[in-house]
Amino acid sequence: MARSGSILGNPVIRLEDPRILRGAAPYVDDLAVTGVAHVAFVRSTIAHARVTAIDTSEAKAMPGVVDVFTHADLELPDVQGFIMLPPVFARSPLAKDRVRFVGDIVAVVVAETRAQAVDAVEAVVVDYDPLPAVVDPEAAMAEDAPLLFEEHGSNVAFAMDMGDDPTVFEGADHIVTVRSVSQRLAAVPMETNAIVAEPRPDGITLTIPTQGPNSVRDNIAPLLGYEAAQVRVVAPAVGGGFGAKQGVYVEYVIVGHAAKRLNRPLKWVETRSENMLSMVQGRGQLEYVELGLTNEGRIVGMKGRVIGDAGAYPAIGAFLVYFTRQMAPGVYDIPKVDVKCFGVATNTTPMAAYRGAGRPEATQFIERALDVAADELGIDPVEIRRRNFLKPEAFPLTTVTGSNYDSGDYDRPLTEACRIADYDGLRAEQAARRARGDAKLLGIGVSTYVEITAPGIFSEYGKVEVAADGFVDVTVGTSSHGQGHRTAFAMIIQDVLGVPMEKVRLIQSDTDVVPRGSGTMGSRSVQIAGSAVLEAGTQVLEKAKRLAAHLLEADPDDITVFEGVGLGVAGVPANAITWQELALAATEADRRPADWEGHLAVELDFNQGESTYPFGAHLAVVEIDTDTGRVELQRMIAVDDCGRIINPVLVRGQQHGGIAQGVAQALYEQVVYDDDGNPLTGNLMDYAMPSAAEFPSFETANTETPTPRNPLGAKGIGESATIGSTPAVQNAVVDALSHLGVTHLDMPFTAERVWRAIQEAKAGV
């Protein structure tokens, strides 16, 4: 049949789910490897200390132990965390003379079974000479603070300080000041970190649950003493990433070298408690912000100071404050911005990207400051936002902090969120409860945001090939771990070639078959890899039309796609040639054009050239029991704009997942250390990880403002809901208590914290 309307934009059920639900998608720990031995690590129990001695003799003598290694036994190169930081912050995979956080690795045990390895770890004796520890990043900036890297002379690993702008508040009638904390979070993926290392005569194969197999290969190869071509990295079904499964962990380097040394396959899989110590964590920022406004609520300038906790070995986590600064103006027309930012080393688990990576923190502090301004100026929180929105006709534009916004209509999602929520009705209900003196208070919080997706990662590999069996193979450099790539890319191919989605195969996450690729992070996959698939598919179609025209003795301009069949002359479906026949003809010299080259395939790299900037509005409704301080989220409404929507089902899934993580930060989650650097939330008994039972049904909707920066018009959606939801809930909690005189509270909103705020407000403290 001839082609009908586009499948893009229609709700299509995910193709990848049956395999996952049937248990046919293995994690690393599910892999059965012949002759494998197991690895366990001896980790520091002290946050900061000199290592004076390590005795492994008893451990080596234990049953099943293959070997025990310290830094003296394995010559390992240091792992440099991020290219833009001084090399001094590089990490030795096995600690040499000093440990810098609880969880730092001092020895590695290899044994025949996991249980034997764990038992032997307990037998390794390490002597420590304790040193002063610092866990607060602001305290770590003090001149007399203990130094983690004395040769650097400071704990500040990254800084952007352009000096003071004395004109930033010119024209301001009112200045509001807010100190806000975005607390440290653990990623807590369903699958913990892991690796299987299998030496080969010509190299090594590493199976890792990573978000970017190709980038891991390119970075780990020299650390293991190989050329990139000698290293194969495979990512099976990855049980969640959220940013924490990027890059090269020192555990990978240790296991890789040990496997080479022993010439046998080795496996390491984190326990959950180990994961809470050693997997990189996120957020952990302290923000000071001042907003200058006119009496009418128009912002004239912003001043701020952002201090980010980079953890014990500063890497990309130290740089994320850059994105906070870059996105500080948010969706608002702010003519002057003076924000300084610092990434600081502390004696804690290293920090890195976590869903949003620097952008949620920017939204949090501007949205909190605007609510404080609205309260002090007597302006409704929705109205003050509308008075300051950038206008749709202003796009494209470059903000004063260097963001190149592509397109936006910021009032549309806010208007829609207020309509869905019945905002005026909620305000009336709130006023009525306060007038009655109800014990249960109602709070309404709004948040409007813009974020940056594909930050600095503009190019991606894609290949489309019609195979001899009539299926279409799509090879991409991204790596799916729950996002629905197989479904999205198959929809694009069906839209271009008319091939049913079920006949599209996705090839990914294996460096032996995917030559290059940046991986999946920064909400970049559909907009960049999807555009690569679209362009490669379009070029395949042009090649196929030329081939079909040759076979049918027709003009290529007369060749059209017949849905589910192949190509033929327009109006003559009976003579259509199937895709399988076309693929075979492309390999037969007597059937293809004389100047034909290769198979029916095209590979390319699509370069978008810039980031895209999704946006949206979230509205939270909370109820607070004044007798107990318990906060109950009643409603959570998200209206997100990710440009053109390819599949509403996939978008909705990302919205729901993002909201859950954003609300979890506001109400439940926090990594806590004591003053000596001991983690107090090292397992899921102490770290409050919510389940679906703690949430209401989320209400999601979308507006669509396409980007001109890629042919799909798509922007990212993977992190948007996390960015918008957290400050909406925070604003709602403070809003519920505002009539008592509460102007700000830091997250998470535990019952105790909220109850104490209520009691202090009533006592006039």
pLDDT for res 238 = 96
pLDDT of residue 441: 98
Task: Indicate if 231 and 287 belong to the same structural domain.
Answer: no
- Picking from 607, 640, 661, the residue at the C-terminal end of a domain is 607
* Cα gap 201→622, rounded to integer Å: 61
Note whether 558 and 621 are same-domain residues: no
Which CATH number fits the domain that encloses residue 266?
3.90.1170.50
If we measure between CA atoms, which residue out of 169, 179, 172 comes closest to residue 377? 172
Average pLDDT in the 259-286 region? 98
149 within some domain: no
Same-domain status, 599 and 473: yes
Domain carrying residue 569: 17-23+455-607
pLDDT, tens digit (0-9, with 9 covering 90-100), for 740-753: 999 999 999 999 99
Does 70 share its domain with 117? yes
In this structure, the answer to whether residues 745 and 597 fall within a common structural domain is: no
**Distance (Å, whole) CA 189 – CA 183:** 18
Name residue 760's beta-bridge partners: none
Residue 440 sits at the vertex; the CA angle it makes with 439 and 442, to the nearest 5 degrees, is 135
Nearest-CA neighbor of 497 among 433, 438, 580, 431?
Answer: 580
478 lies in a domain? yes
- Same domain for 448 and 461, yes or no, is no
* DSSP designation for 478: S
Chain segment 170-186, per-residue pLDDT in tens:
999 999 999 999 999 99
The whole-number average pLDDT for the span 565-584 is 96
> At residue 722, does pLDDT exceed 60?
yes
pLDDT in tens, 214-228: 999 999 999 999 999
Confidence category of residue 764, pLDDT binned at 50, 70, 90 = confident
Residues 112 and 209 in one domain: yes
For residue 415, give the 3-state DSSP assignment: helix
- Mean pLDDT for 683-708 is 97
Q: Is the pLDDT of residue 3 over 70?
A: no
Per-residue pLDDT, 4 = 62
Query: Is residue 115 within 8 Å of residue 63, measured between CB atoms?
Result: no
To 10 degrees, the CA torsion angle through 543, 546, 552, 557?
120
Cβ(384)–Cβ(414) below 8 Å: no
What pLDDT sits at residue 446?
A: 98
pLDDT per residue as tens digits for the range 310-346: 999 999 999 999 999 999 999 999 999 999 999 999 9
Q: Residue 8 domain-assigned? A: no
Q: Assess if residue 47 is contained within a domain.
A: yes
Answer whether residue 726 is part of any domain: yes
Domain match, 93 and 226 both: yes
What's the CA gap between 119 and 123, in Å, rounded?
7
pLDDT tier, 1 (very low <50, low <70, confident <90, very high otherwise): very low
Same domain, 643 and 699: yes
Q: Which DSSP symbol is given to 389?
A: B
Is 42 domain-assigned?
A: yes
Confidence class for position 163, pLDDT limits 50, 70, 90: confident
- Residue 162 pLDDT grade (very low, low, confident, very high; cuts 50, 70, 90): confident
Specify the pLDDT at position 635: 98
The pLDDT tens digits for 424-475 are 999 999 999 999 999 999 999 999 999 999 999 999 999 999 999 999 999 9
Q: What is the CATH number of the domain that holds 659?
A: 3.30.365.10
The reply to whether 596 falls in a domain is yes
Domain check: are 302 and 434 in the same one? yes
In a domain, 138, yes or no: no
Question: Which of 558, 574, 607 is the last residue in one of the domains?
Answer: 607
Q: Is the same domain home to 571 and 626? A: no
The answer to whether residue 243 scores a pLDDT higher than 50 is: yes
Q: Are residues 127 and 210 in the same domain?
A: yes
Q: Is 692 helix (H, G, I), strand (E, B) or coil?
A: helix
Q: What is the pLDDT of residues 383-426, one digit of tens each?
A: 999 999 999 999 999 999 999 999 999 999 999 999 999 999 99
Structural domain count, the chain: 3
Could you give the CA distance from residue 176 to residue 493 in angstroms, rounded to a whole number?
Answer: 52
Residue 282 has pLDDT above 70, yes or no: yes
Domain closes at, from 580, 607, 634: 607
